[in-house]
Amino acid sequence: MKHLIFSILLLLMFKAEAQSSALAVADSLYIIGNYSKAINEYSKVGGLSAALQIARSYNAVGNYEKAITQYQYVVDEDVENQLAQFELGKLLLKVNRFEDAKSVFTNLSNLNTTNPEFQFYLGEVNRHLDATGASLKQYKKAIDLDSTHLRSLFQLAKHYTIKQERDNALTYILKGLNYYENDVSLINLHALVLFNDAQFEKAIPLFEHVLELGEDKNYVYEKLGISYNKNWEFKKAKEAYAILLKRDDTNSQIYFDLASVYQKESKLDSAKIFINKAMAVQKPIFANGYNQLAYIAREQKDFKNAFKLFERAHKEDTSDALIYYNIATTYDQFGTDLKKKLGYYENFLKDYPNQHPYYYETAKKRISELKEEIHFAKD
């Protein structure tokens, strides 16, 4: 009997050693990225640990359906296995199976209520499902569990920046930057909040810092160009736009913005050149170009030409109430026909009711004055 027990123990020991050896081989293949061979070796070993590694291997080679099947097997066999569920949930999110991912992360959040990552990913799932309120709630829960959770802070800051809720955005931006002052995403959001709030002088050094941190993107130069221009730093504005034009000389908006810089410097001939360049590459609407040329002509007291340019802009874009208002006021400045002046203002009120309240009230006042002038002219 003792010999039998000893033989059984010896057999089990040899089997465990063989299994351990096979697992070591499989692990060594997995570590160096030889995933297909690793899968074969793990299949020989068997067991939940090997199944989890097979799932990870399939995930690594991009065979997501087989990876999900393996993860699901592990989870079904061990419902308390949070690691397998976590990896499964992230994979389901990656392949856009949002409802399935939501089920996994909801379960994880219930299993472990103190893990901020589970709350964050549940927030991510809800964000993709357009359940904004639920996603914000989960991000806030993650921050309650870990006040330094940068990804949750970023998502909240981004949401409130897009909604232009300045104070809420700054609350989460500054919290995040307090923990990691060189987080380029949060610095970028900080700059955008100030930019949207017309605090261009304060936004400039933040956009510049974003560039220093390697975020060499066109939109940063675009915002910097506008900010420099608004802050009367014309040389820097031109430098920013020059960089953009080197990258893309077919973007009409860059030419328009550059023309605005020259116009602000009262270099009107240069402004015209860039407006014409913008119109040369603009497709298909030229309203913006004609409109800006009209403003320059009016600034040069060339009211008749300004009037013609505003009319051309209006033909390109009849939806813009301000363009038609400019037609009326420009003709009012040089025209002699009182009834024609009156007609333009009346058409403005008729075609663009309740748009631009200030201009609407100004037009009504001018109509009263013109009617009075016409009446006295008859007398």
Q: Which CATH superfamily is domain 303-379 in?
A: Tetratricopeptide repeat domain (1.25.40.10)
Look over the chain and give the mean of its residue pLDDT values, rounded to a whole number: 89
Which amino acid would we find at residue 38? A
User: Residue 20: its pLDDT value, please?
Assistant: 60
DSSP conformation class of 292: H
96-148 residue pLDDT tens:
999 999 999 999 999 999 999 999 999 999 999 999 999 999 999 999 999 99
Q: Out of 8-17, 248-257, 289-298, 301-310, which region has the weakest mean confidence (pLDDT)?
A: 8-17
> Per-residue DSSP letters for 26-95?
HHHHHHTT-HHHHHHHHHHH-SHHHHHHHHHHHHHHT-HHHHHHHHHHHHHH-TT-HHHHHHHHHHHHHT
pLDDT tens per residue, range 348-358? 998 888 777 88
DSSP state of 355: S
Percentage of the chain with pLDDT > 70? 93
d(CA 279, CA 316): 12
Q: Is residue 227 within 8 Å of 250, Cβ to Cβ?
A: no
Sign for the CA dihedral angle at 194, 198, 199, 201 comes to positive
From the CB of residue 288, how many other CB atoms can be counted at a distance below 10 Å?
Answer: 20
pLDDT value, residue 13: 45
pTM score of the predicted model? 0.72
